[in-house]
Amino acid sequence: GAVVSQHPSWVICKSGTSVKIECRSLDFQATTMFWYRQFPKQSLMLMATSNEGSKATYEQGVEKDKFLINHASLTLSTLTVTSAHPEDSSFYICSARDTGGAGETQYFGPGTRLLVL
Amino acid sequence: GDSVTQMEGPVTLSEEAFLTINCTYTATGYPSLFWYVQYPGEGLQLLLKATKADDKGSNKGFEATYRKETTSFHLEKGSVQVSDSAVYFCALSTGGGNKLTFGTGTQLKVEL
């Protein structure tokens, strides 16, 4: 089946530093990847849609200069949380849509837990 | 805009009990509907889906039927196991699957 990996699985950083999270589709190509944020006991909130070779599309209220997204290849998208602050602590999840598949199904990564001290 | 409403949890059941988790939606157009499951410490996994009215999605003993007339996609399982303990998310997508809208999730706890 389609597998999506994320790295790192968890990260602790100091306030003011930047953190990069990678999302990879391991056995399929993904023109489109998505980044979500999940707060404890809440649903996933879509942050942005990442398109290979073009700029990401951000959801309303998401600061694009703070959450930098790069989708440099058909198997890799990165999310960089710049100048992280404690309120950025959260569970970040990516998903990927199989370009060559039936179309609509998104495959999710295991998530990255970020703690900003 | 699109939205998904799920019953609040947690839902606590004894093993072999019947499970129903309600899900209703509002959407423009004709959405595809999904159930995702999140086991403790893991990412979301697609459990089942349905793409048009009256379709029934099924997997691992779970099933859900796309009911356009009631805008619902309730999840059911005839006999739950302890290993089914997880958080279940109902979701929809429109416009070719470019955006998923999730419900708030329902935690299921199955006890011996």
Instruction: Count interface pairs A-B at CB distance under 8 A.
Output: 53
Task: State residue B108's pLDDT score.
Answer: 96
**Where is average pLDDT lowest: A40-44, B51-55, B100-104?**
A40-44
Average pLDDT for residues A23-27, to the nearest whole number? 92
Name the percent of chain A lying above pLDDT 90: 67
Nearest CA in chain B to A38: B104
Residue A108 to residue B32, Cβ atoms within 8 A: no
Could you list the beta-strand ranges (E) of A8-111.
10-13, 19-25, 32-38, 44-51, 57-58, 67-73, 76-81, 90-97, 106-108
Token pair recorded at residue B12 = 């606590």
Please state, in angstroms and rounded to a whole number, the distance separating the CA atoms of residues A53 and A15. 31
pLDDT for B37-46, tens place per residue?
Answer: 999 877 888 9
Task: State residue A83's pLDDT score.
Answer: 96
Average pLDDT for residues B27-50, to the nearest whole number? 89
Average pLDDT for residues B81-95, to the nearest whole number? 92
Half-sphere exposure of B8 (CA within 13 A, CB side): 0
Exposure letters B9-31 (e unless 16+ CB within 10 A, then b): bebebeeeeebebbbbbebeeeb
Nearest CA in chain A to B40: A110
Token pair recorded at residue B18 = 């019947």
A34, A105, A110 member nearest B46 (Cβ): A105
pLDDT band at A109; cut points 50, 70, 90:
very high
For residue A32, list chain B residues with Cβ-Cβ distance below 8 A: 98
